[in-house]
Chain A
């Protein structure tokens, strides 16, 4: 095949023309790529400059002080973190709230057994996350089929459902929680409401996109059998999309654990709220205890849901038709 690297004179006139045409296409494509890359680079630089102007401290100037906070914010000794985490009495106790870890204990069955404060608050947060993912997931599941364009749903209805999904995910959970706190007062119920609403919007969109990618041949088959719309959705679509639904649902669970934590900080209760109090009052040991607990919990939840996803879905996730 050594002769294949010779010049254009070896080609027929028609192929020569194709080659020139290809070179033209290539030149245009490269020009557009270059413009796009340059454009992105310029926008990125401008955005960072603007952010730097808008900040009170300048990023580069403040860089040397990056670790100052960690240096100054240290507990009296490392075991203070353990004591704060498990609500054990502190040797530094001076009657102030800073060292009074025992006050947060949640006693069960009389006085013998207690749940440490931060574990209890973590449970409150996880409860918010799981309850709202379930509620949101259920609504998303039942409405996503009305939003999909391939199931013959009437245009106006589809439009309304889609806009509803958009509206529900347009507001971040934290904004919804703030609004709900004004109505339902502070606490986990407002948080559950907020996270649920956002979950319906976010999962609903992912679900209906999965439905739109489904193979329609089984649907034709059941239509030919004389099945109605609900039966066709139930038997032609649901079995196909279930693995991806489960996958997205578990992913949302992970996201919602984080969202519920943040919501605590604006009055949603749970670990986020005690974290805000601890760091605001300069209680170093408590803050570290919460951060460690939070980190371990989130890692555990991510691992667990990843494991569950593989067990339930296997390789079927994000694959169609096979």
Chain B
């Protein structure tokens, strides 16, 4: 409504000028530009120097290694000569070089040289080695593509034609100097993306709190003035330009109110953005250890029970506790308040994660993971309630999206960072890092959550009859059973249990495993918006749910038939796209299907049913995955999950198609009718 009355642009000419200007004028921009340039120059200089030092260090290491390899070859040749084998009759030099190469992939070639002649060669063709040796003597040592090492042979007694200049020459690929960098390129890229994401989070927080939020409040206050309502801004204490701008407005409004003969009210804007960072942190705390969970749980529970089954039980316990705790927390949220609930949840998560790090067996591990699950559910409900309480109908979707973005970001960053972290510091420390993150969230919650935010109206309580009618809705049943439950079952069973297990077993590092799991969140985040727009524009949520199911089944069957790293990456990416397509569509579809119910009793109960079913599916996933792994093995378990996904989507399509849309509430209507 206010948008219609808002003046389009008070200064059109100024706007035009700002469009033309690339860099805004002013000292602050020059300083910013200068500092950015200085920072870039300094960073480039430091990086260059660091790379140079690393290269020098590596070069000496490679030279030492090369000396040892050349000496090994020389000893073999000397032994052969001592046995009386003529130099030109030596057999198998190339094989020996290949053996050396299998232990040192940077070794390019080796040769026995006599003066300028190559007597025996290995690793590369004779001409190529000749060329490499010739260019080594011509070019400078630093520019040559190979690092050449030469060891003179000491033996010449049994061979009249052998002179003292008989030597072993070996060449190493100069690119090996950059190998530590190239090997870690993925890790560097991940850290880069995550740093960007975290910077974005912080910048967004700072800008929203300090700029966007005050500007929005100011606009509302000024709009109020036009409607002869006098309100002053509250809570703005910064001394920068924004702060002085707010002070000026407050002064002007106070004076005007005095003139009119009234007293201004205080206006306060809730810092909704803070919840995004808090959601990000509590999910990150849990997600950090995601790539190592099955292997770690399996290892801890192995003395008591079969490791695979133990891991499945522990993961299922966690998800079950989340499923149980969420509705329970919703009941107490009103009484406790979001801040206290968040603090309690984050504290529980801290204890749970810390305990997990030092768990000694199945039973205490179950206890710690159950605590983590309760903590996760509590913090989730706290954030969700905070958003719901702090928003109204006009900005609720925006608020929810803000929280969901934080969660998705953590879903992306957590496994990737955790994978790198676990690779360097070990499994237990990764859980401790998660606990530290949850602990930090406790501290930040004091600043980022407004304790005055409370729900104003309690949700309408549906009658038992209405609730029964909603549950009796065939289309909702089909949606829940063949879309919502399988989606989360597959997510937890395949992505959280089988993928890390199979990848780690096949020799992938934790960092590589984390990268694959990260793909899920990345694809979901990148495609989510576009897919949602497409679904909205088509207004066909059921089709989107079906497509999501089909994509999941295809990806899983592909991974089941070809259980390789690349195929798993594709399957996980497809799962990300599938979930981005299906999950929001399920939400909208459930509300549309239950339109009769939601009209009278709100959307809360429908969403609660959907969420509960999803969480139960999520809890069942690892258990099923563990059971299938024990029964048929990991690869066949993936195939089974693929088959489940395929069957679910086929049943969904058939059964949904057979239930007429107008029949969805008919039985309940008849029951309700007098």
Say whether A and B bind each other: no
Interface residues in chain A, defined as those with a beta carbon under 8 Å from any beta carbon in chain B = none
Interface residues in chain B, defined as those with a beta carbon under 8 Å from any beta carbon in chain A = none
